A and B are shown apart, each in its own frame.
Chain A
Amino acid sequence: MSSVTVKIPTPLRPLTSGQAEVKVEGATVGEILQKLDAQFRGFGDRILDDGKNVKRFVNVFVNEDNIRDKEDLDTEVKAGDTISILPSIAGGL
């Protein structure tokens, strides 16, 4: 098992009692997000579609890599990695 640091963006911090980062153990991004969902009620609903995919308007990075460019939730992590959850920011006129 690898312990990774997960960075929580401001809009999701009410779900993590205000914590900006959480340490979680797991082998893949999916496993780590499932554990966060178990730990923090409602967390999964905010970032996962039916628990299987990352929502369209959420970006998840492992270190500098967007998991969409890797193996999505199956992307493997190793000890010391940083997972960043970032809201997708867009709008217009």
Chain B
Amino acid sequence: MITIPASLLRRVYDHTEASYPYECCGLMIGAIGENKEVHAFRTCKNLNTERAHDRYDMDPLDMLRVEREFENSPWDIIGIYHSHPDHPSRPSQTDTDRAWPAYSYVIISVQKGTVATAQSWVLNEGERKFYEEPLITGDSK
């Protein structure tokens, strides 16, 4: 299960809508565990400019910066979000092929420029398969 405060999720949606028709990505920071809680997010650069409409490749320097920013906090990078322009919020084969265990992968479907659905997925590494986890929109603190 992953809980994202409504106000944060809205800002993530803003990022995905502003990036439409291209894919965008970012990192979610929060408390690790069975029940993840997102406390912050950071937008990251999609380095795949040639196929930005259907691929993302997160800039590793952005990830490094986020890791450093939160290294002395009680939080960690707990997941990744990315958008699917005009496609459902289900993981693609590419998503599965490149997925890492433990992280939550929040996929946001943006239809004609407006967020339609969002779902969160976690990789089962043994099966190399994504399973959906409940995405709870919490109250803003």
Cross-interface CB contact of B98 among A7, A13, A57, A64, cutoff 8 Å: A57
Cross-interface CB contact of A93 among B61, B63, B92, cutoff 8 Å: B92
A88→B99 CA distance, assembly (Å): 9
Report B-chain residues with C-beta under 8 Å of the C-beta of A87: 100
Q: Is B94 an interface residue (CB 8 A)?
A: yes
- Using C-beta atoms within 8 Å of the partner chain, give the interface range for chain B: 35 or more
Interface of B is mostly: mixed
A13→B78 CA distance, assembly (Å): 12
A34→B23 CA distance, assembly (Å): 37
| 5 pairs of A and B residues whose beta carbons are closest in the complex | A92-B55, A91-B95, A89-B58, A93-B54, A11-B100
Q: Is A43 an interface residue (CB 8 A)?
A: no
Provide the A52-93 mask, 1 if CB < 8 A to any CB of B, else 0.
000001010100101000000000000000001011111111
Report A-chain residues with C-beta under 8 Å of the C-beta of B57: 88-90
Cross-interface CB contact of A84 among B67, B82, B94, cutoff 8 Å: B67
